Structure 1
Amino acid sequence: MCEIRTVEPDDFRHLLMIEAESFTGGYSPYFLKMAPTLFGNTSLLAIKGRSPLGYIMCAREQGNPGRAWIMSLAVRPKARNQGLGEKLLVQTLDILKAEGVQDVKLSVEPDNHTALGIYQRHGFTACKTVDDFFGPGQHRLLLKKILE
């Protein structure tokens, strides 16, 4: 059985592994090391036994505590297509709602149809496309969900 729990400082190597297997040019080791400190209970890790399977990181918007951003959602290739990404997302949205967050935003690659499908099934809608969001040629689709 897979356990989903808050990311802890000792999970750094797990986050690095998931990130390396999930993204090309993902977050820096420094960012991943600081995630448990900066994001608290809105950074979750899915783990089965000693094997890390996925994570989600979410942060409140500076100056707008009623808004949060999903910074990253990653599932290792061997654990995909089992609903794990959705479980991480739903648990995070529940935490945010309980903490009084009214809306959640995120960015996703416009051609990442798997991620888009997950987000749309859970009530996220497209706001706009931003060209060169992360640099030249790195376009992103911004999505938003109102928490009710």
Structure 2
Amino acid sequence: MASFLIRALRADDTEAVVRLYEAASARDANIGPITSAQWASFMQRPHNRGGQDFRVAVQDDQLVGLAESSLRDQGSHSVRFFKLVVDPSMRRQGIATALLRELLALNAVGDAILFQTLAASDRGDGIAFLEGLGFSHIESEITMGCSALKHLALALPDGLVIERSDHPPHVADDVARLHNAAFASDVAFRTYSVTEMKHVLSEDNQELWIVKDTSRILGYCRIEREPKLTWLEQIAIDPKHQGQGLGIALAYQALQAIGIDEERPAGLNVSSVNEKARSIYQKLGFVVWREVRRYGLPQFDLMERIATA
């Protein structure tokens, strides 16, 4: 068994994290490399708290493992979402288990916390590791893509309009309210405060489209524009106004205005249990690219498994 040190992530670890991602993605394309700028932006996301709950594994001054971690409030309980990245040359050395043990130490023993993570459906070793610890497959995130929208004739109810927001942070209170109402039942849900949503909407790559009546916003479509991809991050409709075709109309008008093609397609994630949303995206022209499985295990059960691992 290799000897390594587990410690908190530091600000000067950025380049080492980039190298770790590069090594891991060479073995597993689902992980994908990152740049220093992308990591810095990721660290600034409110739920990451600057990497306060992140942990790294170090051997001979080399970063060989990383645990990304964020605690998400879901009302009656909390979810600690985590992601483990281990240098391929150091796998099966107990690093992932040691990192998980450190994440458990972040919580009080009696807290009602569910640990969640994602694993690509074709990653047999990752799935075997999780299932060996007792994690159960909750659902899957289906990644879909589209390079050419299907032609649709869509009509909004009278009095409603769709428009691009010129100043997204100015409507952060409405966006946070809609997000928290529309996604409350999702297993991956976490609440957003107005301050947190304002921070996200202030990022340079964000684009926001809204549907509204004369007095209020009824839904939004948040898009992240990347160099080679237009990412449909969220569509949220006020629960009282769902079932009126507002979601598909928002996505259609936004993507039509932005323009997508083979060089810069649109992509999105949708839950495997959300058949209604998947049907809407298929009508727009989206097809399945890949599946990533979501696994979960209550904290107390994980503590028992880790104790005997």
CA shift digits 1:37-96 (9 cap, x unpaired): 3266731111112222110111123xxx13111110111111111111011101111122
How many angstroms does 1:101 deviate by?
6.3
1:129 paired residue number: 291
Relative to structure 1, is the Cα distance of residues 31 and 101 closer, same or farther in structure 2, using a 3 angstrom cutoff?
A: farther
Structure 2 Cα separation of the partners of residues 130 and 51 of structure 1 = 36
2:50 paired residue number: none
Gapped runs of 5+ residues in structure 2? Answer: 1-158, 297-309
1:142 paired residue number: none
Counting only pairs closer than 5 Å after superposition, residues 29-68 of structure 1 correspond to structure 2 as: 29=193, 30-38=195-203, 42-61=207-226, 65-68=227-230
Gapped runs of 5+ residues in structure 1? Answer: 138-148
How many angstroms does 1:126 deviate by?
0.7
Structure 1 Cα separation of the partners of residues 261 and 172 of structure 2 = 26
1:74 paired residue number: 236
1:28 paired residue number: 192
Indicate yes or no: 2:272 matched with 1:114: no
Relative to structure 1, is the Cα distance of residues 41 and 128 closer, same or farther in structure 2, using a 3 angstrom cutoff?
A: closer
Contact 1:19–1:26 under 8 Å retained in 2:
no
2:179 paired residue number: 19
2:163 paired residue number: 5
The letter of the residue matching 1:46 is V
Q: What is the percent sequence identity of the aligned residues?
A: 24
Indicate yes or no: 2:246 matched with 1:88: no
CA shift digits 1:75-125 (9 cap, x unpaired): 111111111101110111112217996201110111101110110001001
Relative to structure 1, is the Cα distance of residues 116 and 99 closer, same or farther in structure 2, using a 3 angstrom cutoff?
A: closer
Q: How many residues align?
A: 131
The DSSP-based 3-state class of the residue aligned with 1:28 is coil
The DSSP-based 3-state class of the residue aligned with 1:95 is helix
In our comparison, the structure showing a higher alpha carbon Rg is 2
Structure 2 Cα separation of the partners of residues 99 and 128 of structure 1 = 19
Structure 2 Cα separation of the partners of residues 4 and 101 of structure 1 = 27
The DSSP-based 3-state class of the residue aligned with 1:93 is helix
The DSSP-based 3-state class of the residue aligned with 2:244 is coil
The letter of the residue matching 1:107 is N
Moved segments of 4+, more than 4 Å: 98-101
How many angstroms does 1:23 deviate by?
0.9
CA RMSD of aligned residues (A): 2.4
Contact 1:67–1:104 under 8 Å retained in 2:
yes
The letter of the residue matching 1:19 is H
Task: For CA contacts below 8 A with separation 6 or more, give which structure has more relative contact order.
Answer: 2
